């Protein structure tokens, strides 16, 4: 029986750079594996650790297109959508869609991390 989810791993070309982005976004810290420079984790925040894994020839997903599907995305709860958007953008995220501004009742916005993975900031 599985005891717990150990990590969520994101493929990328630059695992250190992507881990630094998520450490800044989540208030965590970058943990490098001294025996594997292609695997870097982010710890020190509430929840399951994120891992960033180097993949040769990495091609970022397209959103919302499906030629290169996203396959997964991360949702983060926030109290201040505008403030957290500003912080995410300063760390290197890009806006994909401000869903809350185009769909009545929506409480989220969609971004891409520096490696192109979609993620959402969700106000609760």
- 10-residue averages of pLDDT along the chain (124 residues): 82 97 97 92 93 94 86 90 96 97 92 95 89
pTM: predicted TM-score of the whole model, two decimal places: 0.85
* pLDDT for 2: 61
H-run or E-run covering 11: strand 8-12
Cis peptide before 91 (omega within 30 of 0): no
d(CA 90, CA 98): 17
Q: How many CB atoms lie under 10 A from the CB of residue 99? A: 14
* pLDDT for 69: 84
Cβ within 8 Å of residue 12, ≥6 positions away: 18, 52, 53, 54, 55, 58, 115, 117
* pLDDT for 4: 82
């Amino acid at each position: 029986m599985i005891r717990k989810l150990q990590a969520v791993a994101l493929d990328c070309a630059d695992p250190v750079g992507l881990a630094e982005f998520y450490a800044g976004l989540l208030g965590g810290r970058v943990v490098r594996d001294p025996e594997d420079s292609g695997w870097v984790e982010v710890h020190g925040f509430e929840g399951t650790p994120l891992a960033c894994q180097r993949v040769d020839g990495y091609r970022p997903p397209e959103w919302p297109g499906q030629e290169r599907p996203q396959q997964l995305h991360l949702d983060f709860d926030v109290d201040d959508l505008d403030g957290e958007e500003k912080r995410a953008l300063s760390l290197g995220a890009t806006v994909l869609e401000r869903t809350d501004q185009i769909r009545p009742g929506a409480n989220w916005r969609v971004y891409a991390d520096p490696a192109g993975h979609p993620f959402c900031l969700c106000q609760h």
